[in-house]
Amino acid sequence: MDLLRHLRHFLVVAEELHFGRAAARLHLSQPPLSQSIRKLERELGVRLFDRDARRVALTEAGRLLLVEAREVLAGEDRLRALAGRFRRGEAGVLRAGVPPDLGGRAVAALLPAFRRRSPLELKLREAATAGQLRALADRTLDVGVLRFPFDSSWLALGPVLTGPLGVLLPRDHPSAAAAEVRLADLAGMALVLFPRAAAPALHDELLTTCARHGYTPAEVHQAGNPEFALGLVLAGGAVALHDGVAPPGDAVWRPLRGTPLRWRTACAWPRDRHTPAVAAFAAAVTEVLTARGMRPDDDRSPRFPRPAAEYLA
């Protein structure tokens, strides 16, 4: 039995208290409408109307069930409206990943920037590139903010932005007084870097670029927490890479001469999962990262993982 259809017939008859007028509103002839009401009465096991040749009136059961019928039909309307909002990308949750080094201020700016563009709830998860790629593949993330290089053959990408990396030095380092630092000036120092498992291709690219410019770290310390990385720098004997946006005041930040190192960043999502909310998130990320000094990437360098030998060629 199509209960909702019979309830809609019941509601109209109850409002008109006249089968002829109710049938006209429903664009039915009167006999099928009368049959529909009788089927509903049999299904519910109660009589809904007292009716004779001159009048139609609700029974006591009809009056009580009318209230519930209106609730059921209103619930159906709400359900269909909500489903429509989901189809149009106007309701639900967007699950997005951001890299651990994005910074608290950028995260704080990202949330309102997204809310200005989309009514969806935004749930952010901190994860490095490798973790975000796994989450995008198993559909536990809808979109991520990723650092190149990575395998993007199965992904759609937002605008690619680039920003140079400088170096955090202990205040007593000989290069701390210089306006710029060459990578070769860091010889003998250890390097504090994110764990290789977090972004293997980027890890290798950074180290081989350092080597190509005359800096082979005496040791590579792994640090996923920026505060831990800063502690190692302040302890002496180590330096860390930093984008120069709001660097910690305890250390000295200097740009690298020739900008040999940089972040290349873009939003990425599975090609079959593009939605208005994903587009809104990509636009919000572009706004926030541009405000932090990143610019559209016009470099033609490959954005996919390459063998280490290629960096040294």
**pTM > 0.85: yes or no:** no
pLDDT in 10s for each residue of the chain, 313 residues: 799 999 999 999 999 999 999 999 999 999 999 999 999 999 999 999 999 888 999 999 999 999 999 999 999 999 998 888 888 777 899 999 999 988 888 999 999 999 999 999 999 999 999 999 999 999 999 999 999 999 999 999 999 999 999 999 998 888 889 999 999 999 999 999 999 999 999 999 999 999 999 999 999 999 988 889 999 999 988 999 999 888 888 899 999 999 999 999 999 999 999 999 999 999 999 999 999 999 998 766 666 666 555 544 4
Q: Which domains does the chain have, with CATH numbers?
A: 3-86 (1.10.10.10), 92-162+263-310 (3.40.190.10), 166-260 (3.40.190.10)
Exposure class string for 58-87: b at 16+ Cβ within 10 A, else e? beeebeebbeebeeeeeeeeeeeeeeeeee
Q: How far apart are CA 282 and CA 91, in angstroms?
A: 18
